[in-house]
Structure 1
Amino acid sequence: GINMNILYTIEDSLYINITNLCPCKCTFCIRDEGDEVASSGNLWMDHEPSIEEVKDVFNNYSLDEFEEIVFCGYGEPLVRINEVIEIAKFIKNKSDIKVRVNTNGLSDLIHKKDTAIMLSDFIDSVSISLNAPDKKLYNEVTRPVFGEKSFDAMLKFASDCKKHLKEVKFSVVDTISKEQIEKSYDIANNLGIELRVRHKE
């Protein structure tokens, strides 16, 4: 198959590209603009890597060189939540490095159950794409396959994460208006969650 870039590095972070599957089609998604992030190499995969394949690739890296490990890549990592947990467990057996998941926050809908609690043992931090301050705009921007119920499910997942994990953050991309960013801060503050505004490259 093509050279699969399961792991890639950006500055002090080691990223795990575990899936290309995603239930959303965000209007600002980088997947629509190219094959890589920074100098990651091609992030499209010819198959979903197995847990063993991911573990094997870790042998090429010294974890001491990194500040954190991030499940991210070209897809929604929590589509493969069981694999994420297994790999995070494998990492934690080697090192006490921080492990973060970047997610759209829809994993309860993907798996039809409460999933934040599943992450509590091996994941230190989640960064959730809030994307918009209300249901209507969220659906326009994120275009989730689950439709209307997605926004509330994402907020519920975020507040569950706040109960079960050390760190939870929201992000929005600055393609929405200043007013919408202000409203996003209100939502985040109400849940006691920090909000990062990401700049659309």
Structure 2
Amino acid sequence: MVLYTVTGHVGEAGYLDIANSGDLTGKNIYVNMTNRCPCNCVFCLRQTKKMMEGNSLWLKEGEPSVDRVMDLFAPYDLSVINELIFCGYGEPLERVADVCEVIDRLKSKYPDLKVRVNTNGLANLVHGRDITPELAGRFDTVSISLNAPDAEEFLALTRSKFGIGSFEALQEFAVLAKRHVPNVVMTVVEKVMSEEKIELCRKLCNDLGVTLRVRPFES
């Protein structure tokens, strides 16, 4: 599933293909363009083949081309939606050039379109360069999954292929993104993380000059 909305429920039933989402007025539309990710998070559904095959966000037919994504958008009026969010089973910024091209094409028709990316913050490591200048004028919000208050716990949770330096790289990415994007936030999930650790994350975000968003836990 490439374009979808979220019903508010957890799990596969919570994702609705845009074609089945009815009136899009005021809704968030999600764009899922890759299965690739440099992390292997302990809490991710991609841990088992069965979950991957059964999850509607797993792109079973491979990555859609930019033209294919645009064809899927074509029937819909995006002027009525709340926000367009690049987020899916993989890390959206693995395909940063293609994501930017999709945004450029959409903004040529909808210049006021609000766009966000939900990211693990490791795109600069993925591409071996600073990609944050490419976010300018395209994204209104960059939302980075913080997951942990320190490098050791972050690596234990995410099992990033880039190792212990991933946590520092994530922080650097947030600081660099601030130069190009109006709103940079980091997220943690309540109840999954202790209040003490959340406060450590809050201090970290304050030091970086970004906002911490504590997401509600849904079971």
Find the counterpart in structure 1 of residue 193 from structure 2. 176
Partner of 1:114: 130
Give 1:31 shift: 4.2
Q: Which digits, 9 at most, give the CA deviation of each residue in 1:114-159, with x for residues without a partner?
A: 1111111211111011111110111011110100110011000000
Which of 137, 142, 146 aligns to 2:158? It is 142
Q: Which residue of 1 aligns with 2:89?
A: 74
Q: Any idea what the Cα deviations from partners look like across 1:140-192, whole Å, max 9, x if unmatched? A: 11110100110011000000111111111100123222211110000011112
1:35 & 1:57 partners in 2: Cα distance? 23
**Residue 10 of structure 2 aligns with which residue?**
none
2:58 to 28, 33, 44: 44
- Within 5 A, what are the aligned runs for 1:29-40? 29-32=44-47, 34=51
Q: Residue type matched to 2:198 in 1?
A: I
Matches of 1:65 and 1:121, distance apart in 2: 20
Give 1:200 shift: 3.6
Q: Does 1:28 align with 2:43?
A: yes
Q: 5+ residue gaps in structure 1? A: none
- Equivalent residue letter for 2:106: I
Residue in 1 aligned with 2:72? 57
Q: 1:187 aligns with which of 173, 195, 204?
A: 204
| Conservation of the 8 A alpha-carbon contact between 2:184 and 2:210 | yes
Letter in 1 for 2:178: K
Q: State the SS of the aligned residue for 1:140.
A: helix
Deviations 1:64-118 (A, max 9, x none): 2311100001110000010111011111111111011100000000000011111
Counterparts of 1:26 and 1:189, CA distance in 2: 25
Structure 2: which 5+ runs fail to align?
Answer: 8-26
Counterpart in the other structure of 2:21: none
Q: How many pairs are equivalent?
A: 193
Report the secondary structure of 1:165's partner residue: coil
Distance in 2, Cα, partners of 1:35 & 1:9: 19
% identical equivalent positions: 46
Measured in 2, the distance between the counterparts of 1:186 and 1:19 equals: 33
TM-score relative to the length of structure 2: 0.83
Within a 5 Å distance, the mapping from 1:6-21 to structure 2 comes to 6-10=2-6, 12-21=27-36
Letter aligned with residue 142 of structure 1: T
The secondary structure found in structure 2 opposite 1:138 is: helix
**Whole-angstrom distance in 1 between the partners of 2:203 and 2:131:** 25
Instruction: Find the residue that maps to 2:179 and give its secondary structure.
Output: helix
* Displacement over 3 Å in runs of 4+: 30-36
